Each structure stands twice: as structure tokens, then as C-alpha cells.
Structure 1
Amino acid sequence: MSLFWRIFLLNAAVLVVAVLLLLGPVTVSTPVLFGEALVLIAGLVAMLVANAALLRIGLAPLQRLNRAMATADLLRPGHRTEVTGTGSIAELTTTFNAMLGRLEAERTTSAGRALSAQEAERRRIAQELHDEVGQTLTAVLLQLKHTADQVPQPARDDLHQAQEATRAGLDEIRRIARRLRPGVLEELGLHSALRALAAEFTTSRLGVTTHITPGLPRLDRATELVVYRVAQEALTNTARHSGGEAVEVHLRPLPSGGVSLIVRDDGRGLRSAPEGAGMRGMRERALLIDADLLLGAGPNGGTQVRLNVAGPRPEGRTESPG
């Protein structure tokens, strides 16, 4: 039972008992006249209505605070409860807003550290895949070729099949290493990295096109990495879940001097599916650079992921997630 109804029912019980006493042993006339009973009942109803209205007004800030607590989401920061009036409820609202601000700041800091550790681990794994597993498979390929040149024809065919399987495994290892560590991004920049990413996700059933507006402002390395990872996660979700056949990746300037990344597909859309780890990861990355991430339906259906990045900041002002 809510606080409002508890207080209201307690007050109502007191008033009802008072009226019963007036109608019973404590009364102005015996027997009770109809007019007196009518006046008392009308007075009781009026007092209950007035009591309910006053309690509703008085407890409205507490109800707003309760809704804010229930809907607070650290991945969507900036929402605060309006502080109205004075007294204990106003102090409680102010304290809650301050606590929410501290939690958002701590969440952003911890997410930045976690993503930095994640990027470092990705680089380490990609390096080991390239140096250890890749070199081992390359050596196996050379050995298979050398052996195939010296054995009779029936065994040579089997060795050629083993070569093809090993070569396919080596290509897959290199593809995984590129996803873990976007070397194109580090060497050639964001534009080339997005085009390479689109080519990587293009298959016989899914076409990915990129549209990059010339003259975009320069972004720091941390921002470029966030934009790349958001595009990568959006394309991964599209390839796995959308059921679409075409994806568009746009990188456009914003009037404010920033850039906007848009990944739009023609699939079945988000519908009522809850946000998974991939979407939460995109929101956490967006928070690191104070960007706005919008997930919803595209203009022609499907799903649209939009990342709006503010104007460029000097190098060193943002903690890099990599």
C-alpha cells in the first residue's frame, strides 16, 4: 500500500469514528434527525475529499521522485527530477539528483577503464593470433605443399584438400584478427576503415554500401575508435538478426561541427526486442565521448543506429578506450 493511501485511510478512519460517535451516543438529539445525519454525512464526504486532495498535492514530489528512481538508467544520463517547494521532500530530491550525477560520472569512468582493458586484450589476442597461430598455419601450408610434391597422385589429392582447409582456416584467423584489432583504422584512418568494414560484411545475401561526405572534421583517435566500434557492432547485429538484404553506412557532418554516423538496414526492425549486450556496449562507448546514440526504426522501415558526435576536441582531452 502506498504512503498516500496509508495516510488517507488513517485519517478517514478517525473521521468515520468521529461521525459514528456523533450519530450514536454523542449526538445533539435522540433519535438522530434525518437532517442532522445528512449534514454529518455531507461533512464527512467533504472532509475526505479535501483530505485526499491535500495529500495528493503534498505527496506529488515524492511520487515524481519515485518514478525517477524507477526509470533511472545510467546509460541514458542527464535526466533529473524537478525540485519543487522546500522541506524534507525537496532535500531528498536534491540529494537523489546529486547521487545520480555521481553514479553517472563513476559509471562513465569505470566503463572507460573497462573498454580500455577490453581494447588492450583485443590487441593482445589479435597479435597472438597473427604471430603464433598464423605463422604455425603458414608453416603447415608450406609443409603440406612440400609433401604433396613428393607423394603419388592419390595421396596428393588428399594433401591438396588439406591445404585448402588449412588456407581457409588461416584466412578466418586473419579475419578475426582484423576485427579484434582494426589495423586499417590505425594506419589509414576512419574513412578507409569504414569502407573496409563494409566490404568485410558484404556477402551474397547482404549488400553494404558506404556514403562518406567529403570535408568532414578531424576526430581524435578515441572518437574514431568509438565510431568504428559502433559501426562494427551495428553491422554485426544486422548480419545476425535483421534478415535484411541491404545496409547503408553514412558518415555526415553536423551543423554543430561534429559528425553523425548512421547505419540503416531494410530488415525486420527492432520491434519489441529488449536491448542486448551489443546495444548496451554501443551506449557505453557513446558515453565515453559524450555522443548521443539513437536506436529506432529507419525512414523506410528496418533498423537505424545513429551516433551523433559533438565537435572535434583536442588530442588528450578524452580518455581513450584503446
Structure 2
Amino acid sequence: MRPVEVTSVPLFWRIFVLNAVVLCAATALLLWAPVTVSVPVLFTEAVVLVVGLAVMLVANAVLLQLGLAPLDRLTRQMATVDLLRPGQRLPVAGQGGVTRLIRAFNEMLARLEAERAASNSRALSAQEAERRRISQELHDEVGQSLTAVLMELKRAADRVDDPVLRADLNQAQETTRASLDDVRRLARRLRPGVLDDLGLVSALTSLATEISTHAGLPVHHEFQPGLPALDQQTELVFYRVAQEGLTNVARHAEATQVELRLSHDGERVVLRIEDDGRGLGLAEEGDGVRGMRERALLVGGSLDLKSGSGRGTVVTLSVRIDQEGGLTWRGPEKA
């Protein structure tokens, strides 16, 4: 005959049996132990009764703690679960009521993670499409208009004889040229054409140069040769994470330098951003970091942040690849 597992017993009967064991033990003690109660109660008898009651209460508390431990674990997991760190599951054993509850909770987490991933994918795809449209309009319309204005200012400056007016027109040309450069830079940030034309390494090199030039922050970059072929979406995820990470360093880290590395080991492609700034400290993750985590999940990757106060921050994006060197979708990785 197969023994009944403890975890297969419903929670009600488990609590009932635990309390029954305690009460039966107390009854047996009163029936067979050479203990009597006088009237009035003697001090020694009162001590025996109090000790016996304490023993029963402690035994009952311990047994209930053991019986309700799975529910405590479930409660803690529900309070701390984060869908941006997928794979958080409780162990399942047996067939009891608590086990069925835990299994249902794990299945609910899996559905929520899948639905969130699908929703994020649609939202980020729409966002990239809108960025592409705005970038194209900035380049084709605003950029061309500023170029035409720049040419008209040059022709006007060449025709006038007044040196003061010519100086004013030349100043207007410089202002227009600076505005045109800003528009082109914004268009590149919205949709990096170099990523589509020349690939990830060239796009990251251009990004590092741009951050160094405009933020005055030295960006040392190192890219391991022989990078496996990645699809367009994965390259875009690597680029956006690098862009957000470097922008955060330039704006908030108070760093003097930052290192950007891209490497692979045959199983994973890893992007690493490390600065020497003030670190994250006790600050909560903002929308930028959560956006990076959402992008990482789109390609089955994992994003890790490590920081200590005054010791800088390290952002690591890791994406698994298959044995042939291409990207493989394996679902969200376990935390």
C-alpha cells in the first residue's frame, strides 16, 4: 500500500490532526501521570499545570509553523515578485491543497510574464516606429529647411558691403549651422542609421564618440572581434541599452570616465558599461533602468546592475546565442 504524503493532505485536516495530537498528549498525561489537583491548588501543582500548558502551546505553535510554512513562503513571494525579473518560482511537491495553490500561483506568474512580454514587444515596436518617423521628418523637413536658410544667409552675406551687417549675417549662419547639427544629432539618436547600414560595432563606436564629444565624458570602448551574427531586433536592444546606460552616466553618475565593452564567449554576447561615478547608492530604479530590463526581456536576455556608493556602477546585458553563432530565443532567463 502506497503511503500518503503529508503534502497531499488538505490544509484543514493537517491543522486538525496537529491540534488533536497535542490535545491527546495532554489527555494521556492527565490520565496516566501521577498528578492530582487539590482544592485549593498547591503551588507545586500550579507549577506543573503551567509548565504543561506552556509545553502544549509551544508544541502546537511549532507544529502549526511547520504546517503553514508553505503559505508563508507564498506570501513572501507574492510581496516581492517582479515581472521584470522573470523565472521566480516556488518549489512544488506533493498534491495537497497548498501545493495546488502554489502551482496555480506559478502558472499565474508564467501567464503574466508572457502577457507582459507580448505587451512590451508591441509597445516598444510602436515606439521604434514612431522614432523612425520623427527622425525621418527631422532629417528630411527640418534639416532641409535649415540647410536652405543657411544657404540664403550665405548668399545675403556675400552681397552686402556693410561689415557690421555682414558680421551679423555670419553670426546667424553659425547659429543656423549649430541648430542643423543639433537636429541631425537628434535624428541619429532617435533612429541610428549607422546601425542599419554598418552594424552594431560601428553604431556603438559612433555612440561612444558622440557621448565623449557632447558630454565631455571620456568613453573608452573595446569590442571583441568575431562577433556572432545577430538579428536586427537584438542589435537594436544592445544599442538602446548602451545609449540609455551612457546617457545615465553622463547625466547622473558624476563620473570622470566610462568603459564600454562588447564581448562573446561562444554562448553569450555580453555588453558591459562601467563607470567610476558615485554609484546607485539607495536610489530606486528609474524608468530608464526598467526600460532597459524590458528591452532585455524581448530577446531573452538578462540585465544586471551592480553598484556601491562611491564605487561606480556596472551595467551588464547578457544575451544567449546558439552553437552556430546566431541568436536563439530561450524565453526569459531565471533570476
- Scaled by the length of structure 2, the TM-score of the pair is 0.83
> Which deviates the most, 35-44 or 223-232?
35-44
1:85-118 CA deviation, whole Å, 9 max, x = no partner?
5422211111100000100111111111111001
CA contact (8 A) 2:300 2:329 kept: no
Aligned to 2:27: none
| Pairing partner for 1:215 from 226, 233, 256 | 226
**Within the alignment, does 1:190 sit opposite 2:179 as a pair?**
no
Distance of 2:282 and 2:247 partners within structure 1: 19
- Would you say the 8 A contact 2:271–2:316 is kept in 1? yes
**Offset of 1:316 from its aligned partner?**
10
Mapping for residues 93-242 of structure 1, pairs under 5 Å? 93-151=102-160, 152-203=162-213, 205-242=216-253
Paired residue for 1:22?
none
Going from structure 1 to structure 2, the CA distance change for 1:83 and 1:77 (only over 3 Å counts) comes to same
Per-residue CA deviation, residues 159-198 of structure 1 (Å, 9 max, x unaligned), is 1111111110010000000000110000000111111111
8 A contact 2:321–2:328 mirrored in 1: no
Distance (Å, rounded) in 1 between the aligned partners of 2:240 and 2:224: 19
Q: Which one-letter code corresponds to 1:112 in the other structure? A: S
> By how many angstroms is 1:54 displaced?
1.1
| Aligned-partner SS, 1:139 | helix
Q: How far off its partner does 1:221 sit?
A: 1.1
Q: CA deviation at 1:224?
A: 0.7
Aligned counterparts of 1:184 and 1:232: Cα–Cα separation in 2: 14
Q: 2:275 aligns with which of 261, 265, 274?
A: 265
- Give the percent of matched residue pairs that are identical in Structure 1 and Structure 2: 61
1:306 matched to 2:306: no
Name 2:30's counterpart in structure 1.
none
> Is the 2:229–2:327 contact (alpha carbons within 8 Å) kept by the matching residues of 1?
no
- The amino acid across from 2:239 in the alignment is Y
User: Partners of 2:94 and 2:43 in 1: how far apart?
Assistant: 45
Cα distance per residue 1:120-149 (max 9 Å; x no partner): 000000001011111111111111112222
Residue in structure 1 matching 2:74, options 65, 73, 83: 65
Deviation at 1:33, TM superposition (A): 2.4
SS in 1 for 2:258: strand
TM-score under structure 1 length normalisation:
0.86
CA deviations 1:260-317 (Å, max 9, x no partner) are 111111111111111111100110000011111111138x931111111101576897
Instruction: Please give the residue correspondences for 1:25-104 in structure 2 after superposition, counting only pairs within 5 Å.
Output: 28-104=37-113
Asked if the contact 1:286–1:292 (Cα under 8 Å) also holds between the matched residues in 2, the reply is yes
Q: Would you say how many aligned residue pairs link Structure 1 and Structure 2?
A: 296
Structure 1's unaligned 5+ residue stretches are: 1-6, 16-26
Specify the SS of the correspondent of 1:219.
coil
Q: Is the 8 A contact 1:265 1:302 kept in 2?
A: yes
CA RMSD of aligned residues (A): 2.5
Q: Distance in 1 between matches of 2:330 and 2:43?
A: 79
Contact 1:81 1:97 (8 Å CA) reproduced: yes
Give 2:304's match in structure 1, choosing from 294, 299, 305.
294
Give CA deviations for 1:32-72 in whole Å, capped at 9, x if unaligned.
22333222211111111111111111111000000000110
For residue 52 of structure 1, give the secondary structure of its aligned residue in structure 2.
Answer: helix
Separation in 1 of the partners of 2:260 and 2:96?
52
What displacement does 1:28 show? 4.9
Number of the residue aligned with 1:281: 291
Contact kept in structure 1, 2:270 and 2:317, CA below 8 Å: yes
1:139–1:316 distance in 2 versus 1, CA, 3 Å: farther
Look up the equivalent residue of 1:207 and give its one-letter code.
P
> How far does residue 255 in structure 1 lie from its aligned partner after superposition?
4.3
